[in-house]
Chains A and B, each alone.
Chain A
Amino acid sequence: MASEVFLKIEDLHVEVEGNEILKGVSLEIKGGEVHALMGPNGSGKSTLAYALAGHPRYEVTGGRVYLNGQDLLEMEPDERARAGLFLAFQYPAEISGVTVANFLRTAVNARREKGDEISLAEFGKKLREQMERLEMDPSFASRYLNEGFSGGEKKRAEILQMAMLEPNIAILDETDSGLDIDALRIVARGVNALKGPNLGILCITHYQRILRYLEPDYVHILLDGRIVESGGKELAETLEEKGYDWLREQIGAN
């Protein structure tokens, strides 16, 4: 079982500028599984994403995280990525002067040994294939990374990166927000095409919309820094129907 893909989060506490945002989150994601993490604004969803990716502003004050058995919290952000973690950003940074293709080739090669860099032909082929799947125009590859991209283009570019980098655990941080239904469908189809035993997905979202396409195996509700409820995909439907207030009442009642 040592080679099995998994992310294991144990009692994670995270502070931002001295305020505790995550107050003990535990979660386990295995290869082949899709987990949805839902919750209202300010519940700590994005904090979890950034803390896992290693953003310096998010200070882990307690708990442990293992990626494929390795201690994730001991690693720098780039080491986490090379170990198999991927975060699709809600707001990706714009990098002027660096083309999508140049950036992706650097990122692909960062995962390979020196002297074993991907050939231009192989890289070009793979990039074209993945771009076609995401219905991206070929000229996209020579545009500067995220610069002047529309909201939908940015999200597609994030999924393109995920496809090229082949992570074991992908966190999609509100990848659905700001997308119209067509763009959402393309993005979701792109994600679905990558599903497999070597990929576990954590889809962070406000809405049930994207989950119709991604069909999560598990749904977790994050409220005030804690996972208060976990269930199957029907939980997302119930939540959509009844709202977070219903959930708060349920918890209060318990």
Chain B
Amino acid sequence: MSVETAITLSAKGIAALSERLGEPEWLRAKRLSAFEAYERMALPAWDRTDLAGLNLDAITIYQDGRAMGDDELPEALKAIAAKRGDEASLFFQVDGQCTWSRPKEELAAKGVIVCDFQTALKEHEELLRPHYMSAVGFDEDKLTALHYAAVSSGWFIYVPKNTVVEAPIELRSYGQTPGLGLFSHILVVAEQGAEVTVVHGAKSDDGGVQRVVANIVEICPKEGAQVRFYAMQDWGRETYNYTLRRSVLARDARTDWYWGDFGSRLSRSHIKSILSGTGSESYSYGVFFGDGEQHLDLGITMLHEGEHTASDMESKGILDDRARVVYRGLTDIENGARFASGFQRENTMLLSEEARSDAIPGLEIDETEVQAGHAATTGQVDPVQLFYLMSRGLRRHEALYLLVVGFLDAVLGRMPLESFREELAAHIDGKMAG
């Protein structure tokens, strides 16, 4: 990748990017408004999550790429391609623009679209346009503005009416060039009665240089549609990761969020389901594991607007060393959302005295006929359990491993996709061994 093809964050750069991508005027206008908002706004002053270390000056936001051969894939992606075989449709992006894919035949046969944004704009603009930016606005804060100003990678997924996609659609974003910012947008549109499972894995080699990531996922399930979205976050240890995942649900629609947060220097990963349609449902089941100096700011909001809406969230995590998690769970039941039910549980296990967990579970209820509840716990490893296991001959690290795996077991058991559970388990093993 030669340096000439790179574009940096500036007014000139954003205009050049729009030019390079050859995008339509409406999108160019959104991009320029977003950059204007980015320049105007200050960095968000989040409670307990400090962005003081983040440097956005003249970061590289784009470099040219091309289709990759099998041999050119980074080892981690090669391994996934080999392991999946034909169990999933695979779509990889390296440094945003280098692409590799191995879709299953069912996609074309069923009229399912999975493509990058440039292709989607050329071939499916009428499908993309009404949904793009429909769940997350361009000026919610400086970093959403940055995303919409700098976005150049990601995927558009479209599942036609009453179509059930059997095999998971597995997307992988990989950052290889140190310092290259990554701004990916994933837009999933599931028409009435459609069903699809999407996996997105994010990983990078940072090479000791700060990387900035600002990703947005928008999921639009129409009436009775079901989308299962699995997200695996394994950014390199220099990455500042800002990721918003959001879904606006129509009547009887369902969005399931499954996630694992393991990587990055600092992450702000927030999920929000807006349950507007009557009878819509959303569930979030996730696992996090922080170590070293990692800071994870995880948020899940279930906003109940419609009647008979249901949500549940369960998050379990491990913290070691001096890692810190700020967990914000919010079940928000609006007036008029009669017969809604919303529950949440959050448990953190600390493996070190210096690790810190701030759980901020919230329950806001403006309706009387509802069922809701929350529970949060944080605690060190139970010395009684540890002694019991060690008294059977397990070394301290073996005993801790069993306790960690046992602690996470309940939430892992809620994730239907086996390959995702296996990947989570491998990350947990990796963290316990490190």
Give A residues with C-beta under 8 Å from B: 53-56, 76-78, 80-82, 87, 89, 92-98, 102-103, 106-107, 110-111, 144, 161, 165
Which A residue sits closest to B412, measured CB to CB? A97
CB distance B391 to A77 under 8 Å? yes
Complex alpha-carbon distance, A199 and B395, angstroms: 23
The CB with the most chain A CB atoms within 10 A, among B389, B390, B392, is that of B392
Tally A-B pairs: CB < 8 A: 76
Which B residue sits closest to A103, measured CB to CB? B402
Residues of chain A contacted by B395 (CB below 8 angstroms): 78, 110
Question: Which one of B131-139, B189-197, B287-295, B403-411 is at the A interface?
Answer: B403-411
CB distance A92 to B406 under 8 Å? no
CB distance A98 to B406 under 8 Å? yes
CB distance A82 to B393 under 8 Å? yes
CB distance B394 to A96 under 8 Å? no
CB distance A78 to B399 under 8 Å? yes
CB distance A76 to B390 under 8 Å? yes
Residues of chain A contacted by B42 (CB below 8 angstroms): none
B398 at the binding interface (Cβ < 8 Å): yes
Q: For A96, give its contact among B383, B387, B390, B409 (CB under 8 Å).
A: B409
B384 at the binding interface (Cβ < 8 Å): yes
B396 at the binding interface (Cβ < 8 Å): yes
Complex alpha-carbon distance, A107 and B402, angstroms: 11
Name the distance in Å between B293's Cβ and chain A's nearest Cβ: 28
Which B residue sits closest to A110, measured CB to CB? B393
Name the distance in Å between A51's Cβ and chain B's nearest Cβ: 12
CB distance A54 to B391 under 8 Å? yes
CB distance A95 to B403 under 8 Å? yes
25 CB contacts below 8 A, A to B, read: A53-B391, A76-B390, A76-B396, A78-B390, A78-B391, A78-B392, A81-B390, A81-B393, A82-B393, A87-B391, A92-B388, A93-B384, A93-B385, A93-B389, A95-B385, A95-B388, A95-B402, A96-B407, A97-B408, A98-B403, A98-B409, A106-B394, A106-B402, A110-B392, A165-B393
356-396 of chain B: CB within 8 A of chain A: 382-385, 387-396
Complex alpha-carbon distance, A189 and B171, angstroms: 58
Name the distance in Å between A80's Cβ and chain B's nearest Cβ: 8
Residues of chain B contacted by A98 (CB below 8 angstroms): 402-403, 405-406, 409
Given contacts A95-B385, A106-B402, contact A78 B396 (CB under 8 A): yes
Which A residue sits closest to B384, measured CB to CB? A93
Name the distance in Å between B56's Cβ and chain A's nearest Cβ: 42
Complex alpha-carbon distance, A189 and B272, angstroms: 58
Which 10 residue pairs spanning A and B have beta carbons closest together?
Answer: A97-B406, A97-B409, A81-B393, A93-B388, A98-B406, A78-B390, A107-B392, A77-B390, A82-B393, A110-B393
The CB with the most chain A CB atoms within 10 A, among B389, B391, B399, B403, is that of B391
CB distance B406 to A144 under 8 Å? yes
Complex alpha-carbon distance, A81 and B406, angstroms: 22
CB distance B407 to A161 under 8 Å? no
